[in-house]
């Protein structure tokens, strides 16, 4: 098992640091270019959720990201120090006429995460939320 940890303040600009790290780690793991792009997007969405909805952009609260690699999978744990979430809605969410009319132009992040990784799970309490993403080597189709 190899681990890489990245801790950032809850400022959206630093999400780009985690995303770049995800790209390098995905390449080191041997993922295809397409799979690396999926990984970067899923991690970006998870980190932005942690910054926005978890830590409420309080820069004193870090977002901690741990990449753990073994022979079969890459696991990414994204932790915040917010008040916790009841549930995360991973259901399919797409652009439609009603959303556009109502000005509801957000909310695609959790759906994209669930669609782009092999599995994900949420653990939440009053002291924070941990989102764990897993991408398996055997899940690589391209």
Q: Which residues pair with 62 in a beta bridge?
A: 9
Helix (H) or strand (E) holding 45: helix 33-49
Which of the stretches 2-10, 31-39, 64-72, 128-136 binds another protein when contact is defined by CB under 8 A? 31-39
**Backbone φ/ψ region at 40: left (φ over 0), alpha (ψ -120 to 50), beta:** alpha
Cβ 53 to another protein shortest distance, Å: 13
Does position 93 bind another protein by CB under 8 A?
A: yes
Cβ 84 to another protein shortest distance, Å: 22
Binders of another protein in range 97-136 (CB under 8 A): 100, 103, 105-109, 111-112, 115
Nearer to another protein, 57 or 126 (CB): 57
Cβ 126 to another protein shortest distance, Å: 26
Of the candidates 118, 115, 51, the one whose C-alpha atom is nearest the C-alpha of residue 78 is 51
Cα–Cα distance for residue pair 130/104, rounded to 1 Å: 27
- Answer whether 37's CB lies under 8 Å from 90's CB: no
Which of the stretches 69-77, 89-97, 117-125, 131-139 binds another protein when contact is defined by CB under 8 A? 89-97
Cα–Cα distance for residue pair 85/118, rounded to 1 Å: 22
- The residues of the shown chain that bind another protein, judged by CB under 8 A, are 12-13, 15-16, 19, 34, 37-38, 40-41, 44-45, 48, 93-96, 100, 103, 105-109, 111-112, 115
């Amino acid at each position: 098992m190899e681990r890489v940890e990245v801790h950032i303040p809850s400022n959206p600009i630093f999400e780009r640091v985690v995303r770049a790290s995800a790209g390098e780690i995905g390449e080191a793991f041997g993922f295809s270019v397409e799979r690396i792009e999926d990984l970067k997007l899923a991690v970006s969405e998870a980190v932005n959720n942690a910054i926005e909805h978890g830590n409420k952009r309080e820069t004193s609260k870090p977002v901690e990201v741990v990449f753990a690699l073994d022979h079969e999978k890459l696991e990414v744990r994204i932790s915040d120090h917010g008040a916790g979430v009841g549930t995360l809605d991973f259901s399919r969410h797409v652009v439609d006429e009603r959303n556009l009319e109502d000005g509801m132009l957000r909310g695609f992040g959790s759906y994209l995460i669930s669609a782009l990784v092999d599995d994900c799970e949420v653990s939440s309490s009053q002291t924070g939320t941990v989102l764990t993403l897993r991408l398996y080597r055997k899940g690589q189709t391209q």
